[in-house]
Chain A
Amino acid sequence: MNEYVFFQRALSPWMNEEGPDSDIVLSSRIRLARNMKQYSFPTVFTNEEAMQIIQSFEQLFSQRRLGHIGPFFLLKMNELQSIEKRVLVEKHLISPHLAEDCTFGACLLSEQEEASIMINEEDHIRIQCLFAGFQLKEALKMANALDDWIEQHVDYAFDEKYGYLTSCPTNVGTGLRASVMMHLPGLVLTQQINQVIPAINQLGLVVRGTYGEGSEALGNIFQISNQITLGKSEEDIVEDLTGVVRQLIEQERMAREALVKTSNIQLEDRVYRSYGVLTNSRIIGSKEAAQCLSDVRLGIDLGYITNVPKTILTELMILTQPGFLQKYAGGALRPQERDVRRASLIRERLYQWK
Chain B
Amino acid sequence: MICQECNQRPATLHFTKIVNGEKTEIHLCEQCAHEKGEMFMFPHQGAFSINNLIAGLLNMDASLKEPKAPSFHNEHILQCEHCKMTYAQFVKVGRFGCASCYETFRTYLPPIFRKLHGGHVAHEGKIPKRVGGTLYVRKQIGQLKQMLQELIAKEQFEKAAEVRDQIRELETKLNAEGGA
Residues of A within 8 A of B (CB): 35, 37, 39-41, 43-44, 122, 144, 147-148, 151-152, 155-170, 172-174, 176, 204, 213-215, 227-234, 236-237
- CB<8 Å pairs between A and B, sample of 29: A37-B99, A37-B131, A40-B83, A41-B96, A44-B97, A147-B126, A152-B130, A156-B128, A157-B99, A158-B127, A158-B132, A159-B99, A161-B123, A162-B122, A163-B125, A164-B126, A164-B128, A168-B51, A169-B54, A169-B96, A173-B120, A214-B47, A214-B48, A215-B47, A231-B119, A231-B124, A232-B125, A233-B125, A234-B126
Q: Which A residues are in CB contact (< 8 Å) with B34?
A: none
User: In the complex the two chains form, is A231's CB within 8 Å of B120's CB?
Assistant: yes
Q: A44-B85, A174-B125 are in contact. Are A151 and B131 (CB under 8 A)?
A: yes
Interface residues of chain B: helix, strand, loop or mixed (majority): loop
- Check if A214 sits within 8 Å of B49, measured CB to CB: yes
Taken together as a complex, chains A and B put the C-alpha atoms of A144 and B54 apart, in Å, by 28
B102 partner, pick from A148, A155, A162, A176, beta carbons under 8 A: A162
Contact check: which of A35, A144, A148, A173 meets B99 at CB < 8 Å?
A: A35
Judge whether A228 and B97 touch: CB under 8 Å. no
A40-B98 in contact (CB<8A): yes
Question: B93 at interface (Cβ–Cβ under 8 A)?
Answer: yes
The answer to whether A213 and B128 have CB atoms under 8 Å apart is: no
Contact residues in A for B116 (Cβ distance below 8 Å)? 169-170, 228, 230
B112 interfacial contact with A, CB 8 Å: yes
Residues of chain A lying within 8 A (CB to CB) of residue B83: 40-41, 44
Q: How far is the CA of A159 from the CA of B100 in the complex (A)?
A: 10
Whose C-beta in chain A lies nearest to the C-beta of B97? A44
B97 touching A148 by the CB < 8 A rule? no
Give the residues in chain B near A234, CB-CB below 8 Å.
Answer: 125-126
Verify if B36 is at the interface (C-beta below 8 Å from A).
no
Contact B120 A228 (CB under 8 A): yes
Counting CB contacts under 8 A, is B65 at the interface?
A: no
Which residues of chain A are near B109, meaning CB under 8 Å? 162, 169
B-chain residues with CB within 8 Å of residue A230 when the two chains form the complex:
113, 116-117, 120-124
Distance between Cα atoms of A163 and B102 in the complex (Å)? 11
- Does the CB pair A41–B123 fall under 8 Å? no
Listed residue (A40, A148, A227, A236) with the most chain B CB atoms within 10 angstroms of its CB:
A40
- What's the minimum C-beta distance from B76 to chain A, rounded to whole angstroms? 22
With A37-B131, A155-B131, A232-B125 given, can you name 9 additional A-B contacts, CB distance below 8 Å? A40-B83, A144-B126, A151-B129, A155-B130, A158-B127, A165-B102, A168-B94, A213-B49, A214-B47
Evaluate contact between B130 and A151: CB separation under 8 angstroms.
yes
CB within 8 A of B124: which of A35, A204, A232?
Answer: A232
The proximity string for B residues 31-74 relative to A, scoring 1 for CB distances below 8 Å and 0 otherwise, is: 00000000000000101111100100000000000000000000
